[in-house]
Amino acid sequence: MSNFSSNFGHFSRQYNSLFSFTTIGYMSGVINLQHSHAFTVNGHTYYKIHSANTEGYPINWFVYNADARNNIVNRRGLDQDIVNLIKQELEVINPFIRGLYQLRNINHPQARLII
């Protein structure tokens, strides 16, 4: 078995998690609890999220953090060539990735897309 396939086979779940993404949102009012709200996405903890239909709070898009991905690759000793290959293949075969690239054309000060 080549070093390439051995590395991928051993770390396949870690490579998969580098490219996972989720949409988070809700359309109801704010729920008031007696404790602080907190959730974590890609290692970043968030304490407040407003309903998407609340006036005065723009919807912020968090799609992908390439810097965080690169830090994880370096920290875990993953093969950057494998990461680049997966990224290239996803760009070709995944319809969601192609759709996300179209978001680059959004002209909104609160929107930012990094793929």
CB 37 within 8 A of CB 48: yes
List of the chain residues with pLDDT < 50: 58-63, 114-115
Q: Tell which residue, 102, 107, 106, has the closest CA to residue 115.
A: 102
pTM (two decimals): 0.54
For residue 74, the model assigns a pLDDT of: 92
Contacts 24+ apart (CB under 8 A), 2-6: 4/79, 4/81, 4/82
